[in-house]
Structure 1
Amino acid sequence: MNKRVKQVVAALTAKVNRPDRRFVEKHLNEAQAAFFWRMNLPDQRHALNVAYTARKLATVQETINQELLIKCALLHDVGKIKGDVSTADKIITVILDKFVPAWAKSWGRMGRGGKIDNLRHAVYIYYNHAARGAAMLKAAGLPEQLIEIVARHHEAPAEGEPPELTLLRIADNLN
């Protein structure tokens, strides 16, 4: 099954169970967890899946700060806030990104309203959620290294970047 089809099915069937909640409580303090719980359920499920995958990937690398990696995985999509974007608009946004990415990126605009405004907002969030999430985390006074990794998780790999960022990208792409 195509990766995007799997993502749609996962979004429509997303659940967070008691062990998942304990995992979040174990790795995020109360202020950090508040950001996690502001995401919609499919994004929470995705972040948990990314965190579980990242944890597995990190076991083979001694230089990884596993706690930082797990925090980053749980918080990497906090720029996507519950109620901000509908599932239908997310699906349309992914299709636009697949077929007309340059146009879609320039067309997206912050601000909700009617159907078209909401879709433009969804496109904006799709392309800007990393920077938006990093700004939210910075305003809350979270650690700079965590903020940098969240901000850069969709950027092309660069020489000298933290190994936690590299593993986060891999885990995100696998989920």
Structure 2
Amino acid sequence: MVAKLNDKDVDFLKTYLKTYELKLFNKLPTYEQKHCINVARDVETNCNKRKLQSINLIKVALLHDIGKIYSTMNPIDKAIMVILHKITNGKIRAFNKLKNVNMYYNHGEIGCNLLKQYGYDDRFLFLIKNHHNNSIIDDIELNILKECDNKN
């Protein structure tokens, strides 16, 4: 709720995002921006430990929640959704006609559809779309992204 970006965050963003991507990123609420930066930093660290190329995956991490630019959820609404998801074992998903439920479960697909118009390749879009898909287990980049997202 009180998240703020510091100069290091801004420099990190400028290292990985182009001007039009920064404009999109800045449409996210500040607490979501900070979350994405934290995920991206963890992705960078994780990739470095594994000696994996990380530039594209860091950009994915920065933009993985971009579908949430259409959301009106505040941190309390988000916390409620997390709790409802856990106590219903995901059965709350059946109420996806409710805006917050739809956004919680489908922001990856919403973000993927948004980013398609900017010409991202299929792999980039796949990672954005599936960053909460637990049925895909044999994909190292997706697993790193999910692990770092869950940690933050």
Cα deviations by residue, 1:91-136 (Å, 9 ceiling, x for unpaired): 2211211112443101122xxxxxxxxxx21111000001111111
Match of 2:126 among 116, 124, 148: 148
C-alpha displacement at 1:35, in angstroms?
2.1
Pair member with larger Rg? 1
Q: Distance in 2 between matches of 1:146 and 1:102?
A: 26
Match of 1:57 among 46, 50, 53: 46
C-alpha displacement at 1:83, in angstroms?
5.6
My pick for the range that moved more, 99-108 or 135-144, is: 99-108
Report the counterpart of residue 74 of structure 1 in structure 2.
62
Note if 1:158 corresponds to 2:124.
Answer: no
Scaled by the length of structure 1, what TM-score is found? 0.79
C-alpha displacement at 1:81, in angstroms?
1.3
**Large movers: runs of 4+ above 6 Å:** none
Report the counterpart of residue 36 of structure 1 in structure 2.
25
Cα deviations by residue, 1:31-59 (Å, 9 ceiling, x for unpaired): 22222111111110000000111111111
CA RMSD, 1 decimal: 1.6
Q: Distance in 2 between matches of 1:92 and 1:72?
A: 26
- How has the CA–CA distance of structure 1 residues 60 and 86 changed in structure 2, closer, same or farther, with 3 Å as cutoff? closer
Report the counterpart of residue 169 of structure 1 in structure 2.
146
Q: Distance in 2 between matches of 1:57 and 1:28?
A: 20
Match of 2:77 among 72, 89, 93: 89
Match of 1:135 among 105, 113, 117: 113
Q: Is the 8 A contact 1:130 1:151 kept in 2?
A: yes
The runs of 5 or more residues in structure 2 that have no matched partner are none
How many residue pairs get aligned? The number is 151
Q: Distance in 2 between matches of 1:165 and 1:34?
A: 25
Q: Is the 8 A contact 2:71 2:103 kept in 1?
A: no
C-alpha displacement at 1:172, in angstroms?
0.9
- How has the CA–CA distance of structure 1 residues 149 and 67 changed in structure 2, closer, same or farther, with 3 Å as cutoff? same
Note if 1:20 corresponds to 2:9.
Answer: yes
Q: Distance in 1 between matches of 2:77 and 2:8?
A: 30
Report the counterpart of residue 106 of structure 1 in structure 2.
94
The runs of 5 or more residues in structure 1 that have no matched partner are 1-11, 110-119
